[in-house]
């Protein structure tokens, strides 16, 4: 298991449900995090994002004012804020295929369905810290590369033009620290 120094990471938890915020905060503190900030809706979340400059945003989907999906779209605006590349983990009760695809297409980095578990949250955090994906910018999308695996059996049309970028190789820190030097 990769060891993460959670006390070097700053978290922002955005959820309109105070119970859920308390649970996520408890889990993060249990992992060893110290800097955990909270916001109770999308608008307050965006303000806190700008103010606290978190390393990782953990957001709910269904929230008042604007929801987690809209918040993600606002953060993923190149040039519009200090860190459009921030890791965003969507923690939600929605788990239908259509919802997961929408979250992915908005630029969410990881998706975690409720009920929340310490293991599930820990794995998502390790993934965004130790195995970051490059970003892709097209006319209609800006966010983490949505291709997580290289499917050698894929026979459909190639949707990306320009050849070389079929599978974007990014050395994973997780592998680097597993392998002997």
Partner 1 sequence: MAPSKNTAAVTTYGDHEVIVPENKLRKAVSTKPFAPGDDPIARAEAALADLSSEFSTWMDSECERLDKARRMLSTTGCTGANKEALFHAAHDIKGEAATFGFPAMAAASDSLCRLLEHTPDPTRIPIMLVDQHVDAVRAIYREYARSDAVELARKLTQRLREVTDEFLAHENRDRPEVLAQLKAPSILPEA
Q: Within positions 133 to 152, which residues make up the interface with partner 1, using CB under 8 A?
A: 134-139, 145
Q: Quick check: 8 binds partner 1 (CB under 8 A)? A: yes
Go through 169-180 and write b for each residue having 16 or more CB atoms within 10 A of its CB, e for each that does not: eeeeebeeeeee
CB of 155 to partner 1, least distance (A): 21
Q: Quick check: 27 binds partner 1 (CB under 8 A)? A: yes
- Among 44, 66, 102, 122, the residue binding partner 1 under the rule CB under 8 A is 122
CB of 179 to partner 1, least distance (A): 12
Cis peptide leading into residue 115 (ω within 30°): yes
Beta strands (DSSP E) in 34-73 are: 35-39, 56-59
Q: Quick check: 175 binds partner 1 (CB under 8 A)? A: no
Interaction residues for partner 1, span 69-108 (CB under 8 A): 82-85, 87, 92-93, 95-98, 100
Segment lying near partner 1 (by CB under 8 A), choices 24-32, 39-47, 69-77, 149-157: 24-32
148's CB contacts (< 8 A; 6+ apart) are 133
Give the C-alpha distances (Å, rounded to integers) separating 48 from 53, 141, 161.
8, 24, 38
Q: Quick check: 170 binds partner 1 (CB under 8 A)? A: yes
Q: Is 178 helix (H, G, I), strand (E, B) or coil?
A: helix
Interaction residues for partner 1, span 29-58 (CB under 8 A): 29-32, 51-53, 55-56
DSSP labels for 10-38? EEEEE-S-HHHHHHHHHHHHHHT--EEEE
State which residue, 8 or 151, has the beta carbon closest to partner 1. Answer: 8
């Amino acid at each position: 298991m990769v060891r993460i120094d959670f006390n070097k990471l700053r978290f922002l938890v955005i959820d309109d449900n105070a119970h859920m915020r308390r649970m996520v905060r408890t889990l993060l503190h249990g992992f060893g995090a110290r800097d955990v900030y909270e916001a109770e809706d999308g608008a307050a979340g965006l303000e806190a994002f700008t103010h606290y400059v978190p390393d990782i945003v953990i957001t709910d989907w269904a929230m008042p004012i604007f929801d987690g999906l809209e918040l993600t779209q606002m953060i993923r605006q190149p040039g519009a804020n200090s860190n459009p590349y921030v890791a965003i983990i969507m923690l939600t009760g929605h788990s239908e295929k259509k919802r997961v695809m929408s979250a992915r297409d908005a630029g969410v980095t990881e998706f975690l369905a409720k009920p929340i578990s310490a293991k599930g949250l820990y794995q998502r955090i390790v993934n965004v810290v130790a195995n970051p994906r490059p970003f892709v910018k097209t006319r209609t999308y800006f966010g983490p590369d949505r291709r997580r695996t290289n499917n050698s059996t894929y026979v459909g049309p190639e949707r990306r033009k320009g050849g070389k970028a079929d599978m974007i190789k990014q050395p994973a820190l997780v592998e680097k620290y597993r392998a002997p030097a």
